[in-house]
Amino acid sequence: MTRTAAFTSEMMFAPSGTAFRGSDLQRQYRNVLDAARVSPVQVTDSDGHRLVIADWDEVKFAWTFLRMTDAIAQFHAAWAAHNEDPPAAWVSMTPFPFLAVFDSEDVKEFSDELIPYLEESVRRRDLTGFLGNLRAWESSAETYNDEAMLAQMNEPSEHVALSRPA
């Protein structure tokens, strides 16, 4: 994760080389906005406070990525401290309390999927796959919590023989 986090941090937050003063926003607003379409632009206000103008999709991606890496770190810290305990005893200390319905083997599988899914999402510059994986685990937990649905899923079913169309 460190390799991916460092790559993304440098990519998103490294100085772009394009800097403007606050007064430039009025006089050169088109140049400022055009530069911000290429890479983040630093604007220094008259009081010395620095702001960034950047592409919203890039900022949103970076912000979500940072939130997810924080959630993963919090999960792994709790897991490292309590991995001998049943998940129900400690997952409430993580951003993923829905894992309480799973056994330790399932939680390990969940843990093993976090970083590869996040790395793939960073490679694609789209967190949909990572967030979808989290949602799939949460949905499975909801199913396990619904006794009626779980009972229905565990009922024997009639198997129908399928044949290829001619």
- How high is the pLDDT of residue 7? 41
Domain ranges in the chain?
A: 14-54, 58-154
Q: Does the pLDDT value for residue 15 go beyond 70?
A: no
Q: What is the pLDDT of residues 59-106, one digit of tens each?
A: 899 899 999 999 999 999 999 999 899 999 999 999 999 999 999 999
Distance between CA 45 and CA 27 in Å, rounded? Answer: 14
Q: Which pairing describes strands 19-21 and 41-44: parallel, antiparallel, or unpaired?
A: parallel
Q: Is this prediction's pTM over 0.85?
A: no
CATH of 14-54, one of 3.90.660.10, 3.90.550.10, 3.40.50.720, 3.40.1620.10: 3.40.1620.10
